[in-house]
Amino acid sequence: MTETTEATPKVRLGGMALRNGLLVHGPTHWAAAVRGDDGEIHVASGRKPRASAFDGVPGARGVVRMGEAMAVIPIVRKNLRQARLPFESGSVLGVMAATSVATQLLRRNPKLRSTTGEALIAVVGLAPSLFALRSGELAAYHGAEHKAIGAYEAGDDARETAKEHDRCGSHLMTPLLALNVAGAGLLRAAVRNPSPAAQAAVSLASVGAAVEVFAWSERHHDSALARALRVPGHELQRLLGTREPSDRQLEVGQAALAEILRVEGAAA
């Protein structure tokens, strides 16, 4: 692991749980560690794709950052064959297919063309993620991710660190759902039968705006509003999104942390 002193600032890290490990993002690189079928820890890392042209454009930069994070996933899968992605499961894919059908049926129901209907559709859309988190080891590796990164940031023991984290993507859910429901409601009020392209545009705008809210909350971390905005995300993590990892799972988290610090230190 890269040695950190008071003169060496902490590397800003994010991450994503995998079914058998975790992926960690740094400013310029990614690193992943997984527990393979052979019982051994396998590690890989590389440089992240970056599109810096939108860094100063509010709204657009959030969508681009989300796109960059998604672009890393197939790169990880290619370079770390032992990795198992969150939705790489027949049962999860089945829930995704059922959710897609249910969402389309709900959208076609004229009685649900209201804010309440849009809220119901948004909640139904969460089913695949929640199902994936409650099956297998995904939630435990999500906890390992938070504990490894949180311990690094605070200089604590990962085993004693909380499994909830203030920068988890769960904190995006409340503003994203609220903005998506509001945007879809305004679109339906303006256009009787909005096209898929218009609906997609509203979804992208909602993502961009939600990321800006997320970033504002981090910049004003100790404000009353920022703390209030984090409450739903923390509860989602506590109740559904994370589980306390085992020592073996935490060992994988530490391996991913050590690798991202190594490659970010080499780049610096």
Tens digits of per-residue pLDDT, 14-53?
999 999 999 999 999 999 999 999 999 999 999 999 888 8
Between CA 189 and CA 266 the distance in angstroms is: 53
The ranges assigned to domains in the chain are 1-86+245-268
Task: Please spell the DSSP secondary structure of 177-197, one letter per residue.
Answer: HHHHHHHHHHHHHH-SS--HH
The first and second tokens of residue 105, run together, are: 């049926």
Question: Once rounded to an integer, what is the mean pLDDT over residues 200-205?
Answer: 86
User: If you count them, how many residues does the chain have?
Assistant: 268
Map residue 168 onto helix, strand or coil.
Answer: coil
Q: Is the pLDDT of residue 60 over 90?
A: no
Q: Is the pLDDT of residue 108 over 90?
A: no
Instruction: Enter the pTM of the model.
Output: 0.83
- For residue 149, the model assigns a pLDDT of 96
Q: Are 127 and 145 in contact (CB under 8 A)?
A: no
30 sits in which H/E element? strand 29-35
Name the H helices within 109-156: 115-124, 127-134, 138-154
Q: 44-53, 130-139, 205-214: which has the minimum mean pLDDT? A: 130-139
- Banded model confidence at residue 91, pLDDT cuts 50, 70, 90: confident
Map residue 18 onto helix, strand or coil.
Answer: strand
- Banded model confidence at residue 115, pLDDT cuts 50, 70, 90: low
Between CA 93 and CA 68 the distance in angstroms is: 23
Average pLDDT, the chain: 87
- Of 81, 75, 67, 71, the residue nearest 21 (C-alpha): 81
